[in-house]
Structure 1
């Protein structure tokens, strides 16, 4: 048998695998079992500690209730010593809780006790903490461990106040809790527990300890043993101070002891249940021995089964290899003429599967070739569509890389397809000076769809081109976002058409304005002619002539203003847009109008922008538009009126808000404020707001008026901006 043959390798592999699998499983099983038993033991010890604490708490609570009952009966005797003595002696004789019971007056003198001890009758017990606890709190208390002066051995005292008819504390009833009663509670558990159980009171005195006899006449303090809890070092004093149930261990005489510590409810005594590590793991050691023997048996069985299984596999595989070698060149259906029996039925099925697989593989190859051709056809079809679309199409993936771009994008931007495909999103924005970064984020993160957002870009030749941008998500078959598609539409031809239409509309408006202005000029001229005739009459005094001349001067000034306003409207100039600091422009305008506002003591309250804002505007036109609005506000407010000016940035637009507290505009007149010749001023031309409206529109902005008659008016101007 060759060592590189499967007949050798498979049996060897199965034997080695079986051996190591069983060995590793056995080792881990032993370790898990050991750790499980140890943890189970610790949990059990913690449960024992809690159970002992609850039993002691129940015992103390019953004793406490008994003493309080005696105290209440004694209080009802209103200080009758005989009744008090009868009551407490009755309790002592009938209840097994107490080793001593006594009555102490409010001066800490023991009046009587049972059993009695003559040498303590005249002794003052001012040094007893339970006396002061009762006198100060007037509540039942349990003392720390102390040496009884009557019995001359350690015990606890439960003390409860005795009151007179005025509810004043006139003394206390005390009852001694003997340690042997607590020891009896411990002994019930100790009989079934292979370990140590210790009780420590709240001051660190040992109450119960297997190494200390209960009839001792001394109080022994606990040893401040170093202790490890959750890999952190501490000591018993800290545990007693924290009063938390814990499980930990300490090392003494090279032995490790595991302790479960709980506290007795109500009195905060510490219950320690501990076992030496060897005792805890005795059960685990026994299980380990049994597992070791079982492992040896399992390994032997696994080796035998592995060998049998290995040979049962290699024998039919050898026959299959022999038949496969008979294949001619190419993939054909396998032909088996021998070995068609039940013992190798699976190998026969495997051979047939090879044959079927070869046929399926040939079919799949043909389908793959057909699918590849169809894919190429669809790709070519898509490319033809992209070339034929009249708008620019550009697709970014989630990382901001360009994946698809068409020829129209090349025409709009002036960059070649090769150059555009090398741009990242940031480079694309920077090269074209196009603000689509926020649109990209909104589409990716929020799923917003943008339609026909008008923007201005700079092509490769640095020419400004107006375009509209539409954007939406690109989703895959699983509806996952894989990118953003932008549709770029060249608006140059449309803008030319809009300007032509605006010019036609302007000509029509000029016709209407001409008719109106002829009417408005005709009336004053007729009046002026009449006044000139009066001047020719030499019979008029000088005062009358002066009044007529002043009137003629005012009429001429009004006609001049009307003609100038008309010329402002009819004069069509190309806007000279430059980046302009809006806030500085407002300050300049306010300085120009300062004298007019001072005449009426007008107060201007202007807010400031946090950061400077630049807007691409025709400085002269926007200045004139804002002056027209401010002059209306100055006319509308009374003396000492207020004009408010504020700013609000919304996306790529800046709002200039001008508000006054003047007389306002009637609701029925609001729709006509931007009409030519609408005015509320006696000497107004009615063209100011009309001209303002047209200036704002020429800047692709908007102007809105809000007013409440008698309260004031607000104009909101919105114009495109460019951040500095």
Structure 2
């Protein structure tokens, strides 16, 4: 067989390639295994530390549940200590979780225990932290640090649960000791084949379980030494004090050690796991041996498979070449290039298939390529057609979005504007060409719209805002009012990929509403003027009569003084009426700013403090620190609050017990203010006339305060009403919109 033959070269290339691939892969795996030795050690230690911590946590949870159950049973014994003793001794006999169980009273004296020790009979255990946590701090369960048992004279942990009296006050506690041998068994069962060392520390760093066999006789802290944790040099105790699961390494006596720190969730205990590098190099040697065997097997299998595949690949080509050569020669074996002959089917060569025309592997390959070319051309045409349809559909949708009357603005996840339709251009005065690709934050800032919070909520949390009132200044100096909605755009997986702004121009509607309010105000002004003319007439007539009386020569001096006092009272009443009338005629709500409702309420109460104190009224003001700012005419709303609170103060009984509750609640679009008193209340007839001008039940009142308050709230797009029953007090409710220009 010639070395230049394809029958030799293809098998040779496959064999060489397979051998090189397997060998290089093996060396690469060995290199990666060597490089990942330290990270593998840290990960393995973390897994072991976590498993040990979880098993100890489960053991402590089970033990705590038993002790809490004993405490609950003892609380239901209603002071019968014999029942308590019987119950906890039964637990000691039936559960192997504890080496000691006892009952301690509220004076920190151990009443009885199992087992017992007469030497500690009169001892007071106020030095035990579990006593203070259960009796004084009233915790449901307490787990002590490691301590030396005064009964057993051995280290153990104490789990304590309270025993309550009928008033749910702790009168004692049930305590149970967890022996360190049980915890050592838990660790041994978890990692009995682990070649390294495992420590368990209490929250103060005292060793509870260590690598040395045998029970501990004293309390010893863990050795503190320098370690490297994440490239940072620090001592072990500092690393533990961070309270975070972490890995570290250190060198001792020329040997590298790898360790991990984990924590028991329910107790704050620390699990430390350490291994030296010898254990990991043993694993690496085992890996190298297994890798060598695998590489050898793969090389042998590759040689066999490569040779078989090479023969199978080259056989059709060799047969095709042989047949082509026979077909180009005559029967005598000589070439005849000048006389064409009819193609004849050549005989099938020995040990080869017949490969007539295009039915061999090469022919099938050619046919497959031809079919693939046809299918590819067809699919390209289909793809082009689908692309054109997609473009037409996209253009159609863009035309729809561009033609609608509402402004539409689309923002991507990167906060850049991707669509800006014609209506948006007309409303904002900006062109789509200038704004597409720019930041939505810059766009909102240029318009003076404070909508960054809503945009963040839509993009980050998928929140939808249906109606947001906003206004902006246009180039001509006029103000344009908008209603805006913000919705998230989600993909098929439900992930937020952007947001859509839909806004419409409601300037005409707002102006019409303002005009209607002005007309209502004019009508109210007319009604009020007519009422004032009517109500001023009577006092003026009375004043004229009194003046005539004073001019009379027969009027005695005492009578003159009385008449002058009456004149002063009538003039004062007329003056109050005129002042209230002027307050009403002032235009409210023209200069609205963002104000804190809590601040306005506090300032109003501060102005009325003397009157409130004089009447000994108890004001209950709910917490309002989280209330948002609202767009209002500050002076007008303070006047409303002043009138409502003053009415409530005057309505409560002058005797002790007068109370006013002031509360404010926020929903999605409004803030609801409630001012409720416990005064005499009103009947239905009084409620119907409540907001009419000159309607008052007090001799010194003008009857205009609530009328003015009603009109101010309406001008702010809000509403006001009262709830009252005779003998059950009165509640005034004011509802105001949160957004500027909105109605409720």
- Hey, what does 1:637 align to over in structure 2? 652
- Hey, what does 2:697 align to over in structure 1? 680
SS in 2 for 1:399: coil
What do residues 324-380 of structure 1 show as CA deviations (whole Å, max 9, x unaligned)? xxxxxxxxxxxx999864994444343333323333333333334433433333333
What do residues 414-468 of structure 1 show as CA deviations (whole Å, max 9, x unaligned)? 3332443243243334333433334334445665443232123456899754211
2:514 to 491, 499, 504: 499
Alpha-carbon RMSD? 5.5
Q: Is the 8 A contact 1:18 1:299 kept in 2?
A: yes
Distance 2:359 2:660 in 1: 103
Q: Is the 8 A contact 2:636 2:712 kept in 1?
A: yes
What do residues 290-327 of structure 1 show as CA deviations (whole Å, max 9, x unaligned)? 999988985664454233223136558989999xxxxx
Q: Is the 8 A contact 2:316 2:361 kept in 1?
A: no
Alpha-carbon distance change, 297 to 696 in structure 1, aligned in 2, over 3 angstroms? closer
Q: Is the 8 A contact 1:19 1:302 kept in 2?
A: no
What do residues 585-613 of structure 1 show as CA deviations (whole Å, max 9, x unaligned)? 55654555455445535555667865897
Equivalenced residue count is 478
SS in 2 for 1:367: helix
Q: Is the 8 A contact 2:417 2:436 kept in 1?
A: yes
- Hey, what does 2:432 align to over in structure 1? 417
- Hey, what does 1:451 align to over in structure 2? 466
Q: Is the 8 A contact 2:19 2:299 kept in 1?
A: no
Alpha-carbon distance change, 320 to 525 in structure 1, aligned in 2, over 3 angstroms? farther
2:395 is equivalent to residue 380 of structure 1: yes
Alpha-carbon distance change, 634 to 447 in structure 1, aligned in 2, over 3 angstroms? same
Q: Is the 8 A contact 1:637 1:660 kept in 2?
A: yes
Distance 1:233 1:390 in 2: 73
User: TM-score, structure 2 length as denominator?
Assistant: 0.51
Distance 1:290 1:533 in 2: 133
Is there any run of 5+ residues in structure 2 with no aligned partner, and where? 28-114, 119-180, 182-191, 200-208, 217-289, 326-342, 346-353
Alpha-carbon distance change, 573 to 348 in structure 1, aligned in 2, over 3 angstroms? same
Distance 1:388 1:135 in 2: 92
2:369 is equivalent to residue 354 of structure 1: yes
Distance 1:12 1:647 in 2: 88
SS in 1 for 2:691: coil
User: TM-score, structure 1 length as denominator?
Assistant: 0.53
- Hey, what does 2:14 align to over in structure 1? 14
Alignment map for 1:90-169 (pairs within 5 Å): none
Distance 1:528 1:445 in 2: 72
Distance 2:210 2:437 in 1: 73
- How far the C-alpha of 1:487 sits from its partner, in A, is 0.7
- How far the C-alpha of 1:394 sits from its partner, in A, is 0.6
Q: Is the 8 A contact 1:395 1:405 kept in 2?
A: yes
Alignment map for 1:58-77 (pairs within 5 Å): none
- Hey, what does 2:195 align to over in structure 1? 230
SS in 2 for 1:634: helix
2:313 to 310, 314, 334: 310
Alignment map for 1:526-545 (pairs within 5 Å): 543=558
Q: Is the 8 A contact 1:578 1:618 kept in 2?
A: yes
- Hey, what does 1:622 align to over in structure 2? 637
Distance 1:686 1:309 in 2: 110
Alignment map for 1:289-688 (pairs within 5 Å): 301-302=304-305, 304-312=307-315, 314-315=317-318, 341=356, 344-444=359-459, 447-457=462-472, 465-476=480-491, 480-524=495-539, 543=558, 546-572=561-587, 575-578=590-593, 585-586=600-601, 589-590=604-605, 592-594=607-609, 596-597=611-612, 599-602=614-617, 610=625, 616-639=631-654, 641-643=658-660, 658-666=675-683, 669-670=686-687, 672-688=689-705
What do residues 252-271 of structure 1 show as CA deviations (whole Å, max 9, x unaligned)? xxxxxxxxxxxxxxxxxxxx
- How far the C-alpha of 1:395 sits from its partner, in A, is 0.9
- How far the C-alpha of 1:404 sits from its partner, in A, is 1.1
SS in 1 for 2:484: strand
Distance 2:482 2:322 in 1: 76
What do residues 220-253 of structure 1 show as CA deviations (whole Å, max 9, x unaligned)? xxxxxxx99434499x99564379xxxxxxxxxx
Alpha-carbon distance change, 342 to 601 in structure 1, aligned in 2, over 3 angstroms? same
Alpha-carbon distance change, 714 to 459 in structure 1, aligned in 2, over 3 angstroms? farther
Q: Is the 8 A contact 1:11 1:310 kept in 2?
A: no
Distance 2:615 2:193 in 1: 87
Distance 1:136 1:570 in 2: 92
SS in 1 for 2:214: helix
Distance 1:527 1:661 in 2: 38
Alpha-carbon distance change, 384 to 610 in structure 1, aligned in 2, over 3 angstroms? same
Alpha-carbon distance change, 337 to 617 in structure 1, aligned in 2, over 3 angstroms? farther
Distance 1:378 1:715 in 2: 57
2:709 is equivalent to residue 692 of structure 1: yes
Distance 1:434 1:579 in 2: 14
Is there any run of 5+ residues in structure 1 with no aligned partner, and where? 28-133, 138-201, 203-226, 244-286, 323-335
Distance 1:429 1:573 in 2: 29
Q: Is the 8 A contact 2:596 2:628 kept in 1?
A: yes
Alpha-carbon distance change, 303 to 654 in structure 1, aligned in 2, over 3 angstroms? closer
